[in-house]
Structure 1
Amino acid sequence: MDRKSRRDGKATTRIDMKNLFIILLTLTLIGCTQKQIQPEIEQLDSPTSSLLQAISIVDDNTAWISGHNATFVLTTDAGASWQTFSHPTGDSLQFRDVHGFNSEKAILMTAGSGPLSRIFTFTEPDQWEENFVMQDSLGFLDCIDFWDGQRGIAYGDAIDDYPYILLTADGGKTWNRADSTNMPKAGKGEGGFAASGTCVTTGENGKAWIATGAGGNCRFLITEDYGQTWNEVDSPLAKGDAAGNTSISFIGNTGVVTGGDLLITDDYTDNCAFSTDGGLTWQLSNRPQTVGAFYGSAITQIGEQTFAFACGPKGLDYTFDMGQTWTNLDSLNYWAVSIRGNSGYASGTDGKILKISLQP
């Protein structure tokens, strides 16, 4: 090859590399300027006026929502219509939590002192099985969750100086208290807030997180072996007699906790924090738009974007940047929020049900 050909070859290489750089830069800029996903909300027609305070999403079409006056509802068409159910003994029971297995079967938990705290299995169309009744007059169940179709957990206010944790290995038919020798002692007055059914949440491979509060306590109890052993981690949220963690949600190792001081309704307290290491460390978020305490939380991922939601008596907020910025979605009174994939629901007073959609 002569000298001129070598010069032309080098020039062509430089031009090709320059064009490649421009193409890559253009693609990067396009990716960076893609429109941010914005949640869309829709108030659904609700079949009840009872307070609805716990949500269990089974799949894209099926969800259960439970509440006061022994009432719970079911959709099998993504919220377009709802069936209403109630316990046959009357309206004194408060279904503070629900876990749906499919469109025909759900576990329901009632809250209250002593025997008012119960766990039922409901199977369509109207079959009831009472699985657990609190025998201790000081007992008070707060929330339940399941790892799979057989293994589940329930959490309640502390009894006998230890956290009150129930475990089931047969789909909720029988419940037994976890061995207290493998968990830290409870603080005075420590328990959970039976507000949204999310003071306990389960994860993969036997992980679970319990968010505690009340009596000046505010921490996390964490298991990695289906509740056989437990460790504790401090929470940065507000502490007080009626303060602490109220709700915890995880997707993988990324989690959000909400809470605050329930007695402060018109001002801000430390009421939301995030974790990216499975709950070992937590970072307080910036202030949300909504004032007062949050009762419920939810977290989901769409592609590489993480969305978290927090709700309470003063409204519903969301963040797409781990709490750096917040946007208010609604200012009505919501007790629970749940997101699965790119859609979910919020529920609250007067039987209201809000559908939330996150479409790329």
Structure 2
Amino acid sequence: MKKMFTLLFSVLNLIVFSQQIESFETILNDKISIRAIELFDGKVWYSGTDSKFGFVDLKNPKNQKQIKLSEKKLQFRTLAQNKDAFYAINIESPAHFFRIDKKDLSVVNIYTDTLKTAFYDAFIFVNDEHAVTFSDPAKDLNLKLSFIMPKLNSVLDFNTLTKREGFNSIKLNEGEAAFAASNTNIAHYGTNIWIATGGKNSRIIKIDYTTLKSYIYKTPFIQGESSQGMYSIDFSDDKFGIAVGGDYTKQEANINNIATTNDSGETWQIQASGKNAGYMTCVKIKPGSKGKEIIAIGDKHISYSSDFGKTWKKIADEKGFYVCKWVDKNTVVLAGKDKISVMKLKF
């Protein structure tokens, strides 16, 4: 009887989960770890381990291509794009900034950061002419911010570029850094950039890249250990945002690992503490939902919220995904260990 009850319970769980998943298809299998993806021209583009870069056609997965950005076996956890090209930076020093032309996939190394502490965590375009990336801090604990200037094919140090305009360097605390988890611990809306940190302190750094004003806000997120803090953030507008994370060494821990803001990051409210599936590495707000509908993934689950992140439902036990992105209002592409998959949802 007990076995029958357990089996029935498992079947009911699968039914509940499948009510929101219409289909789940893996469109790429390869020996690769993928933590950064972009969408362009009906394809999902990725960067990953062993210097691999490529695409898979979402409508015709057989149409795919992969190239090497370097003869060296570099690891990539960043990827960004403007109308002309993709840009990617490998983790660890020396950090090479690669530009990949969208027309012919030709690759150019436009800059190399030889600083021993170089470790670029995320990379994002704020408009078609400017991108922002940041690295782990050097020994002086100043956050290393850089502007990418695609038209000039150059990289300009944010602090050097703006010193004469009165920009104050942002100093992190000892043991505070960022996680190169899914290229999503940096977000932007309008002229605002938000950066999420973790470790000994888990804070939000907000920068207006036109006025160069910066603000640092404390959060109630789990923090204090090197593995704890915010891993991923997203904003639906200039006010509402969400942060997820936790402790990657304790995947099931689910206390103070989700928080939302309604005032542009100044204050944060913990959500669903003790009532979620645990550690999350990537969060994305559904386009057009104004923050109401959100998907998040961890190494061991896919979860969904339909009430601005207040409550969460685990919709799948899929493992090994690190990054996700909405394709449209019903479709999400996910990537991670050795695979890229497409999930269609029904509501």
Same fold, TM exceeding 0.5?
A: yes
Q: Residues 232-275 of structure 1: CA distance to partner in whole angstroms, max 9, x if unpaired?
A: 11122111222111111112132111111222123323211112
Work out the CA distance in 2 between the residues paired with 1:302 and 1:229: 29
Q: Aligned pair in 2 of structure 1 residues 46, 89: CA closer, same or farther (>3 Å)?
A: same
Distance 1:52 1:325 in 2: 28
**AA paired with 1:119?**
F
Separation in 1, partners of 2:79, 2:152: 12
Quote the Cα distance in structure 1 between the aligned partners of 2:82 and 2:117.
Answer: 30
Cα distance in 1 for partners of 2:27, 2:305 equals 26
Greater CA radius of gyration, 1 or 2?
A: 1
Structure (1 or 2) with the greater strand fraction: 2
Distance 1:71 1:273 in 2: 34
Match of 1:110 among 90, 97, 110: 90
Quick one: distance in 1 between partners of 2:220 and 2:62?
Answer: 40
How many angstroms does 1:91 deviate by? 5.5
Q: Distance in 1 between matches of 2:302 and 2:152?
A: 32
Structure 2 residue corresponding to 1:174, chosen from 144, 154, 157 = 154
The answer on whether the counterparts of 2:321 and 2:337 sit within 8 Å (CA) in structure 1 is yes
Using a 3 Å threshold, how does the CA distance of structure 1 residues 305 and 210 change in structure 2: closer, same or farther?
Answer: closer
Counterpart of 2:45? 64
Name the aligned partner's letter for residue 175 of structure 1. Answer: V
Q: 2:289 & 2:121 partners in 1: Cα distance?
A: 33
Shift of 1:38: 4.0
Distance 1:250 1:303, change over 3 A: closer
Provide the C-alpha distance between the structure 2 equivalents of 1:259 and 1:280, rounded to a whole number of angstroms: 18
Residue pairs, 1:201-240, within 5 angstroms: 201-204=187-190, 206-214=191-199, 216-226=200-210, 228-239=212-223, 240=225
Equivalent residue number for residue 315 of structure 1 = 301
1:120 corresponds to: 98
Counterpart in the other structure of 1:152: 131
The equivalent residue for 1:14 is none
Q: What's 1:131 paired with? A: 110
Partner secondary structure for residue 137 of structure 2: strand
Distance change in 2, residues 1:40/1:251 (3 Å): farther
**Would the alpha carbon gap of residues 153 and 234 (structure 1) be closer, same or farther in structure 2, given more than 3 Å must change?**
same
Counterparts of residues 11-160 of structure 1 (less than 5 Å): 38=20, 40-58=22-40, 61-78=42-59, 80-87=61-68, 89-90=70-71, 92-101=73-82, 105-112=85-92, 114-115=93-94, 117-123=95-101, 124-159=103-138, 160=140
Match of 2:10 in 1: none
Q: Distance in 2 between matches of 1:199 and 1:227?
A: 22
CA RMSD of aligned residues (A): 2.5
Quote the residue 1:345 is aligned against.
333
In structure 2, list runs of 5 or more residues that go unmatched. 1-18
Please give the alpha-carbon distance, in whole angstroms, between the structure 2 residues aligned to 1:143 and 1:261. 19
Q: Which ranges of structure 1 fall in alignment gaps of 5 or more residues? A: 1-36
Shift of residue 348, structure 1, vs aligned partner = 1.0
The CA distance in 2 between the partners of 1:196 and 1:309, in whole Å, is 14
Count how many residue pairs are aligned between Structure 1 and Structure 2. Answer: 316
Can you list the C-alpha shifts for 1:37-73, whole angstroms capped at 9, x where unaligned? 94545222205231111122246x2332221121123
Aligned 1:274-285 pairs, distance under 5 A: 274-285=260-271
Aligned to 1:199: 185
* Deviation at residue 152 of structure 1 after TM alignment: 0.6
Identify if the C-alpha distance between structure 1 residues 347 and 91 changes in structure 2 by more than 3 Å, giving closer, same or farther. farther
CA gap of 1:56–1:171, structure 2 versus 1, over 3 A, is farther
Give TM-score scaled by structure 2 length.
0.82
Residue 93 of structure 1 and its aligned partner are, at CA, apart by 0.8
CA contact (8 A) 1:63 1:78 kept: no
Shift of 1:220: 0.7
Q: Distance in 1 between matches of 2:85 and 2:55?
A: 10
Hey, what's the Cα distance between the residues in 2 that align with 1:88 and 1:225? 30
| TM-score w.r.t. length of structure 1 | 0.80
Q: Which amino acid aligns with 2:334?
A: A
Q: Taking structure 1 as reference, are residues 341 and 222 closer, same or farther at Cα in structure 2, changes over 3 Å only?
A: farther
